A and B are shown apart, each in its own frame.
Chain A
Amino acid sequence: MSSTPILQTLFPNIDDWGEIGRACIDTLLMLGGSLLLTGLIGLPLGVLLYLTGKGQLRPMPKLYAITSLLVNILRSVPFIILMIVLMPVTYFLVGTKLGIRGAIPPLVIGAAPFFARLVETALREVEQGVIEASQAMGASLWQIVRHVLLPEARGGLFAGITVTAIALVGYTAMGGAIGSGGLGDLAYRYGYLSYKSDYMLVTVALLIVLVQLLQMLGDRIVARYSRR
């Protein structure tokens, strides 16, 4: 892709816009992949936290305490440190510490506990009476989760996914610092290490646009599924 004269005047240091395009795609791939896995791990984890909590459908104080502690530990480590600590695990899981593949394990391990808490909170918003009614109708625990809790909480669940996706955008950008690629990598290498502030400006602008789009999309889905 060749740059136009206007772009050249505005951003004198950027000679390869294609690199920015590739970085965008990398960020989106990291985001998509990690969001999907975060959902797949965080949703059951959140359901487990909800069900085993005190006074809930299957109270199991010990299991709840252990799960809760694990979630809290993972959430209290700053992501940039978590990434470094997890490097051996990442290497074991995907065979590399770099690139998109190397970024996904720490992203998921960092975000899944966060999402699990949001799931737990969303499920607690479901009215106790509705759960009682379905018990009275002879619903099994699995039927209650599948047909009552998740559908009734879907507004809150989609809001949780939106918040998690936006947190993940931030995490992917941090991944740039340890060679995961994407917009964060660009901003870090050119914008910070090479003092090319126009790179910084463009990546920040792109990240803002990405976050805005995610929030708008999330809000629309939540509005569609909120029936109160």
Chain B
Amino acid sequence: MIRFVDVHKSYRVDRRDIPALQPFSLDIADGEVFGIIGLSGAGKSTLIRLINLLERPSGGKILVGDIEMTALAEPALREQRRRIGMIFQHFNLLASQTVADNVAFPMRLAGERNAATLRDRVNELLARVGLTAHADKYPSQLSGGQKQRVGIARALANRPSILLCDEATSALDPQTTASVLELLAEINRELKLTIVLITHEMDVVRRVCDRVAVLDAGVIVESGTVVDVFLHPQHATTKRFVNEALPEETAGEQTAFSQVQGRLLRLSFRGDTTLTPTLGRVARETGIDFNILAGRIDRIKHLPYGQLTLAMQGERVDAALVALREAGIEIEELNR
């Protein structure tokens, strides 16, 4: 468990305190993938660096497991940092060292001297990230995606319980992003590692995160499970992020909808309800008519979800809505 208790952070610039993060409390559970999304300057880099105390909070407590990080003296803090892996947007590999030496580096820092132990662990890690053939290359000879894989192998070297990802895919192309995210999800699954990632892309959150917090100008404006935040965004910033990943109806379509007869509804399906023909069954039973105006089906992490915008007509629309809600479908009325 990572726990922030009344944490806030401001920077001192020209003898004035510039607030970066307003007071907040937040719990991140063991084994989950927690996303923090925000625009640049929202404070997400600061937030993730509070966990391993690369940034010190101006007030409040930060706990990792049972250990109060903010109370640790320098040597004990270094010891704890070795149990928290971190990967970076620009990889931050040692240019003067080979891939194998980069991966061995955190183990050497921790005092491991046995060449055989180091070699075996490096081989194991490189196999996990699929870079066995590149052990003796230098970072400059690798592609961006390969560099990030080296970064991941390095971050896992000391068997951490937490992995921090600082915009880990922001410098990568979409395909490489997908494969790196897949690797992160696999690591989370197989090693039961807690992952905290920051990003400005909702798509990254949708693909790998279990829960998400939305950060806007130093304030956590919304947090919850990705499904809830994704399907029912509350705050304007969240809506903007969600719309990037899931284009909503355009203004033209909105106008067209207003001319449609009947009640305009948005139905959200998640999980099993996506896969059952509930809408057709309810329509038959209640004798209503519907006209599908827009819709999509996709996945949030492994959970299938769908959204349909439709116009519904008939005498027993209310009964139909009750039946749909009973079947687990969420309904929003758009023209009331």
A and B interact: yes
Q: Provide the bound-state CA to CA distance between A228 and B92, in Å.
A: 12
A139 and B92 form a contact (CB under 8 A): no
Smallest CB–CB gap between A123 and chain B, Å? 13
Smallest CB–CB gap between A2 and chain B, Å? 52
Q: Which residues from A are CB-within-8-Å of B54? A: 132, 135-136
Q: Which residues from A are CB-within-8-Å of B86? A: 133, 136-137
Q: What per-residue 1/0 map shows which CB atoms of A123-154 lie under 8 Å from chain B?
A: 00001011011111111100100011001101
A148 and B92 form a contact (CB under 8 A): no
A135, A138, A154, A227, most chain B CB atoms within 10 A:
A138
Q: Which of under 10, 10 to 19, 20 to 34, or 35 or more describes the interface residues of A?
A: 20 to 34
Q: Provide the bound-state CA to CA distance between A140 and B76, in Å.
A: 11
Are A129 and B92 CB-contacts (below 8 A) given A135-B54, A138-B110, A227-B140? Answer: yes
A139 and B95 form a contact (CB under 8 A): no
Check B93 for interface membership: any CB of A closer than 8 A: yes
Check A225 for interface membership: any CB of B closer than 8 A: yes
B109 and A130 form a contact (CB under 8 A): no
- Those of B84-107 within 8 Å (CB) of chain A: 84, 86, 88, 90, 92-97, 105-106
Check B79 for interface membership: any CB of A closer than 8 A: yes
Q: Provide the bound-state CA to CA distance between A147 and B108, in Å.
A: 10
Q: Which residues from B are CB-within-8-Å of A140? A: 78
A138 and B79 form a contact (CB under 8 A): yes
Are A129 and B88 CB-contacts (below 8 A) given A148-B94, A154-B96? Answer: yes
Smallest CB–CB gap between A21 and chain B, Å? 40
Are A143 and B109 CB-contacts (below 8 A) given A152-B95, A225-B96? Answer: yes
* A contact face: mostly helix, strand, loop, or mixed: helix
- Those of B125-166 within 8 Å (CB) of chain A: 138-140, 154, 158, 164
A228 and B95 form a contact (CB under 8 A): yes
B97 and A137 form a contact (CB under 8 A): no
B81 and A147 form a contact (CB under 8 A): no
A228 and B78 form a contact (CB under 8 A): no
B105 and A227 form a contact (CB under 8 A): no
Q: Provide the bound-state CA to CA distance between A140 and B74, in Å.
A: 9
- Which single member of B78, B80, B95, B108 contacts A227 (CB below 8 Å)? B95
B109 and A147 form a contact (CB under 8 A): yes
Q: What per-residue 1/0 map shows which CB atoms of B243-262 lie under 8 Å from chain A?
A: 00000000000000000000
Q: What per-residue 1/0 map shows which CB atoms of A11-34 lie under 8 Å from chain B?
A: 000000000000000000000000
Residue of A nearest to B157 (CB): A137
Besides the known contacts A138-B78, A138-B110, A225-B96, 20 further A-B residue pairs in the complex with CB atoms under 8 A apart: A127-B92, A129-B88, A129-B90, A129-B92, A130-B94, A132-B92, A136-B52, A137-B86, A137-B109, A137-B154, A138-B79, A138-B82, A138-B106, A138-B109, A147-B108, A148-B94, A151-B96, A151-B97, A227-B95, A227-B140
